[in-house]
Structure 1
Amino acid sequence: MMFFKVILLQSLITLFGDGTLSTDKVDYGIAFTPDENVAYVVRHDGKWGSRENPPSKIHRYVKKDENWINSGYADFSDKDSPWSDSDVFISQNGEKAFFVSNRPYSGKKGNRDPDIWMVKKDGNSWGEPTPLDIINSDGYEASPVTDGDGNVYFTSIREEGPGLGDIYVSMITKDGRYSKPKLLEGKVNSPHGEWNLIISLQGDWMIFESSGRPEGLSPYGDLYFSKKDKFGMWSSPVHIDRINTTGSDLNPRIIYESKIIVWASSKELGHTGSNFYSLNFEELGFEISQD
């Protein structure tokens, strides 16, 4: 029966944005505006898993008559620059965009390591991106997302972390600034690698990618679920075997109005492409808040 249930759930998984958001290139990051009518896609023309790839760029799509139309590159992602832009996320009020880039800037602490950038809405377009110096370190930063209050959760490789990559939070202050990042407490971080994540609006659960755990199907990374208790401690992660594959499964996003989870996957070990897939998040089997 368990085998039948897994097969049934896999049959409910849908290729998301076939031929538009999901292409024959490497599509591995996605974000949506709150009204779900604009999507930002991270893409490059190389091979998934290769260390020698062209720069990733962020593309903008507009939804029209249930179809996704490519409107070019995001305002904050220069298609002609030699720098990579990735890990895009749009805040819940639609007024801020966060992304990761290895572009240089004055005062940059690392060499070519990626840092977190933020850009604010300026009318119908985006303003000038700025690096989040309070969050960035001389190491590796990735996957910035926010909860409903605007607190920034992200992953980083730092000496104080227990693993190859770990999840941190920077709280937003009353004056709109961000506090010094703190490592999440509880059992979510490990001696393995914790990576790309999505946090609930209430900040009480998350889905994230982790690599190197014994139950993982892929050496690259599987998706896991964790909840925060009333003491602020994160629970032991649960492997989401209903959607994980032997390939890379990463960069989850929740589309609340449509009640689906969207994530990127290379589907199988050795596959050099990556696309987006979706599933009704009620099929995940977790009791989660949907607001």
Structure 2
Amino acid sequence: MRSLRSVLILVLFSGSLLAQRSTPPTSPYLSETPPGLTPSVFAPGKVSLNDHYEYGSVFSNDGREFYYAVIINQKPQIRGIRYENKGWSAPKTVIGSDQYEYNDPFLSPDGKRLYFISDQAADGRGPRKDFDIWYLERQKDGWSDRPINAGEAINTGKNEYYMSFTKDGTMYFSSNGGTSPATDKNYDIRFSRFVKGRFKPSQKLPNTVNTDHYEADVFVSPNEDYIIFCAERPDGYGQGDLYISFKSKSGQWQAAKNMGTVINTDAYEFCPFVSRDGKYLFFSRSGDLFWVKAQVIDTLR
């Protein structure tokens, strides 16, 4: 499925349309105690469970919705939690299947689409295929019940993984499209501009970011001034590390650097996400979700 990540990580959620309001003032982030500059497990016993493998998380812009992936019966599914009736709901399945995998959830900038990746057949009934990027549309009574493929400007005949967005709708994601059987573990980070309601053909980031190794799971800041991504490189601290690249004043992506031992261990770090308020960096490690003050990003500039 996902290079070394594949070794580590082997219905629909309905509800009323939430008004765009500020983060719950008395209980943000699932009422969890905020972390410091050392990563800690996010929502232990509530989201990060000892007997489940959780990864890939995102909060809505208003902080009132939280989505993440979890493996159930060897199949990843997407779960959601909402702030409603002055409290946080229990996790509920957004989309899952005994046949297909659904993971890497991420919301569009306007919150009207829930994107994810899946190996489901185009018609939702046939055999599993390669991983594409799909989405559900928000409706008055919850999410739509049939995934929509993000289209050929994004998806190829191979795998597309983990997407994120700038505030103008540009999608960043990774793909091994165009590789040969000998190089199909070489995933690269790409981007696609969103123009007049459609994605333009994607472009690959330069070699200051992409190498001959695996680069994936990219988070792009809303202002498109930095990206954080997972890479499997010989100079890393573990099986997969988080790297960061900042954009120069002239608009060029600078050489990516390892985020260091504050973040990376001898385990596998992946699926980064920075909260909309810019306060916290979330990521995944060893079957749990972690979070840390986003000040760690500033120390790397």
The TM-score, its normalising length taken from structure 2, stands at: 0.78
What secondary structure is seen at the aligned counterpart in 2 of 1:18?
coil
The equivalent of 1:92 in structure 2 is 109
For 2:99 and 2:179, the matched residues in 1 are separated by: 31
The equivalent of 1:264 in structure 2 is 284
| 5+ long unaligned stretches in structure 2 | 1-34
What secondary structure is seen at the aligned counterpart in 2 of 1:34?
coil
Deviation, 1:185, is 2.5
Q: Deviations over 1:163-214 (max 9, x none)?
A: 71100111111x2101111111341000111011210001121110000x23
For residue 38 of structure 2, what is the amino acid of its counterpart?
L
Matched-pair contact (CA < 8 Å) for 1:10–1:243: no
The equivalent of 2:191 in structure 1 is 169
- How big is the alpha-carbon RMSD for the aligned residues of Structure 1 and Structure 2? 2.7
Matched-pair contact (CA < 8 Å) for 1:30–1:42: yes
For 1:65 and 1:235, the matched residues in 2 are separated by: 46
Q: Does 1:113 find its partner at 2:126? A: no
Matches within 5 A, 1:68-217: 68-74=88-94, 77-78=95-96, 80-106=97-123, 112-127=129-144, 128-134=146-152, 135-159=154-178, 164-173=186-195, 175-211=196-232, 213-217=233-237
Deviation, 1:232, is 3.8
For residue 60 of structure 2, what is the amino acid of its counterpart?
T
Q: Does 1:252 find its partner at 2:269? A: no
Deviation, 1:91, is 1.9
For residue 82 of structure 2, what is the amino acid of its counterpart?
V
What secondary structure is seen at the aligned counterpart in 1 of 2:296?
helix
Q: Does 1:13 find its partner at 2:39? A: yes
Among 290, 294, 300, the alignment partner of 1:277 is 290
Q: Does 1:224 find its partner at 2:243? A: yes
| Structure 1 runs of 4+ with >4 Å offset | 64-68, 160-163
For 2:136 and 2:299, the matched residues in 1 are separated by: 33
For 2:174 and 2:68, the matched residues in 1 are separated by: 20
For 1:16 and 1:248, the matched residues in 2 are separated by: 17
For 1:66 and 1:214, the matched residues in 2 are separated by: 48
Deviation, 1:20, is 1.1
The equivalent of 2:48 in structure 1 is 22
Matched-pair contact (CA < 8 Å) for 1:187–1:233: no
The TM-score, its normalising length taken from structure 1, stands at: 0.81
What secondary structure is seen at the aligned counterpart in 2 of 1:216?
coil
**Which segment drifts farther, 64-73 or 89-98?**
64-73
What secondary structure is seen at the aligned counterpart in 2 of 1:203?
coil
The equivalent of 1:50 in structure 2 is none
For 2:142 and 2:223, the matched residues in 1 are separated by: 28
Deviation, 1:132, is 1.4
